[in-house]
Structure 1
Amino acid sequence: MLNRVKDDAATLAAEAAAFLRDHFRQDSIDLALVLGSGWASGADHLGEPLGEIDLEKVPGFSKPVVSGHGGRLLLVRTSGGRVAAIFTGRTHYYEGHGTAPVVHGVRTAASWGAHTLVLTNGCGGLNPEWPPGTVVLLRDHINLTGDTPITGPTFVDLSEAYSPRLRTVASQVDPSLPEGVYVQFRGPQYETPAEVRMAGILGGDLVGMSTALETIAAREAGLEVLGLSLVTNAAAGLSAGNLSHAEVLQAGRDAGPRLAELLASIVGAL
């Protein structure tokens, strides 16, 4: 049964990649990006446009259900001459469809030939020195979903889940970028103050509802991963106000111009 699930996921990713090869007339890509909350504004500045398609038209994908997430796949040629596929939306684990749809984009990119994956997200911050608008390089994660996209006896080394080489490249582009540990919760509810304190005790600096499961699938597929988090708010219990998705979206809009410039510079250097 587990092997069949694994085979079905691989087959669907291969089908999606074949569809995209035909649609874009592009045999392979070099890298892929997943743009999370606050990051989609930079999608049109990442390189020379080569085409686009609505994600829901691609096998295995569905229309994003979260406000602030786009629903397009863009193909561009970066300033460094790389061909990049840009996913402007993602499926979240809390949507209740299991892990396979969450990581389908990652597996499709790998099947299409990508060797590098850039994952971005909006998150809550635990470090008071990182106000909303701060971009943090991920050096590690803690997966608190209680789940994994890997099935069967597939033992993937996550010692360097987030590539030291890619983090060095990003740091050379912007030496002010701090590094931190991202904690993925299941969602969709925001974390309680007690859960945020727990995340800090465990070693977390950032909390959110994405990225870790995608990173696991990417490392299984042999992709190098660069993770970038936008702090959109102080995590629960660390500020006077309550949390809201509107606050997350506004923080992304406020940071939009800087994110677009930073992401274009990093992608051009990969």
Structure 2
Amino acid sequence: MELTYVDQINQAAAYIRGRIAGREPVVGLVLGSGLGDLASEVEDAITIDFSEVPHFPVSTVEGHAGRFVIGTLEGKTVIVMQGRFHYYEGYPMRKVAAPIYVMRKLGVQTAVITNAAGGMNRAFRPGDLMLICDHLNMTGDNPLIGTNDAGLGVRFPDMSEAYNKSYRELAHRLSSLIRSDDGDSLELQEGVYCGISGPPYMTPAELKMLARLGGDAVGMSTVAEVIAARHCGLEVLGISCITDMAIGEELEPLSHEQVMEVANRTKPRFTLLVKSFVRAVPV
């Protein structure tokens, strides 16, 4: 008999639970393109490749290691997704969102969901970190389409505060305490993330449309995971690393290698911010 979606999630969670020796992670982190090195900060770590987990696909994108790292970060037990699955890889939205439900089954209460994104707000610069205050789902799909299982969440989940406001306020407070090499504090941007299907980067006309709709940054991930997180009761902090400027009127050619290069340069500040948040968040 074919397993249901919930059965698959339960089996995946049971496998991971059997590998982590009684640990119960309270914070789950999803690390986007070029940001995966934060996982090296996890202490007493257990590593599980996605390919080992029942019903999991594999991540096929450069900059995504494709594994879980479970251990201690800033005094809390965490589970880190070093890489993720994308809709543009050919995976159904439910498959993209499944790891979030698995994290919830393992005990996670707070999700930190990150990505590399193009900046559409003219006040942004490559290398900025943007706290996500809201999103536009422009993928044309949704992970909740289909039969709802009450064991995961309600049929019609509320999305009025998809990204926890108190978490954003905490991140802003923490950023003021983080100093760069020249002594300046870390200034965070805040804005609306537009999630698209990809894999092509957008045309100038498409970017102008998204900016007029209220978007500040654009990327090919995150929205499905956040929808699933809110569906199953997780509180979310979303962070975009602005790797390039995606302004329709001034668009220049872009490659994935350029995105990775800027994300790599931003990693020290990103790492400090996320570690400070994990230490301070009340879970």
Contact 1:60 1:104 in 2 (8 A): no
Aligned equivalents of 1:18, 1:125: Cα separation in 2: 39
Instruction: Specify the code of the residue in structure 1 equivalent to 2:137.
Output: N
* Cα deviation 1:91-114 (Å, max 9, x = unaligned): 101112211110111011011111
**Is it true that 1:110 corresponds to 2:104 in the alignment?**
yes
For 1:166, the equivalent position in structure 2 comes to: 167
Instruction: Specify the code of the residue in structure 2 equivalent to 1:260.
Output: T
Instruction: Specify the code of the residue in structure 2 equivalent to 1:204.
Output: G
- One of 47, 57, 60 as aligned partner of 1:62: 57
Aligned equivalents of 1:29, 1:248: Cα separation in 2: 30
- One of 226, 233, 237 as aligned partner of 1:222: 233
For these two proteins, the number of residue pairs brought into alignment is 264
Contact 1:123 1:206 in 2 (8 A): yes
Instruction: Specify the code of the residue in structure 1 equivalent to 2:47.
Output: E
Q: CA deviation at 1:62?
A: 2.4
Instruction: Specify the code of the residue in structure 1 equivalent to 2:48.
Output: I
For 2:31, the equivalent position in structure 1 comes to: 35
Q: CA deviation at 1:89?
A: 1.0
* Cα deviation 1:200-255 (Å, max 9, x = unaligned): 11110000110011100110000001100000001153546301111101111111
- One of 7, 10, 13 as aligned partner of 2:6: 10
Query: Which range is displaced more, 260-269 or 216-225?
Result: 260-269
Q: CA deviation at 1:161?
A: 0.3
With normalisation by structure 1, the TM-score equals 0.93
Aligned equivalents of 2:8, 2:147: Cα separation in 1: 18
- One of 260, 267, 270 as aligned partner of 2:278: 267
With normalisation by structure 2, the TM-score equals 0.88
Report percent identity of matched pairs: 39
Unpaired segments ≥5 residues, structure 1? none
For 1:135, the equivalent position in structure 2 comes to: 129
SS at structure 2 position matched to 1:197: helix
Aligned equivalents of 2:266, 2:277: Cα separation in 1: 16
Instruction: Specify the code of the residue in structure 1 equivalent to 2:34.
Output: G
Instruction: Specify the code of the residue in structure 2 equivalent to 1:28.
Output: E
Instruction: Specify the code of the residue in structure 2 equivalent to 1:181.
Output: V
Query: Which range is displaced more, 106-115 or 24-33?
Result: 24-33
Instruction: Specify the code of the residue in structure 1 equivalent to 2:55.
Output: G
**Is it true that 1:200 corresponds to 2:211 in the alignment?**
yes
Aligned equivalents of 1:10, 1:167: Cα separation in 2: 31
RMSD between superposed Cα atoms in Å = 1.8
SS at structure 2 position matched to 1:37: coil
**Is it true that 1:97 corresponds to 2:91 in the alignment?**
yes
Query: Which range is displaced more, 155-164 or 34-43?
Result: 34-43
Aligned equivalents of 1:239, 1:253: Cα separation in 2: 24
**Is it true that 1:254 corresponds to 2:265 in the alignment?**
yes
Aligned equivalents of 2:228, 2:206: Cα separation in 1: 26
**Is it true that 1:50 corresponds to 2:66 in the alignment?**
no
Q: CA deviation at 1:87?
A: 0.4
Aligned equivalents of 1:42, 1:99: Cα separation in 2: 26
Instruction: Specify the code of the residue in structure 2 equivalent to 1:77.
Output: T
Contact 1:236 1:243 in 2 (8 A): no
Q: CA deviation at 1:129?
A: 2.0
For 2:246, the equivalent position in structure 1 comes to: 235
**Change beyond 3 A, Cα 1:240–1:16:** closer
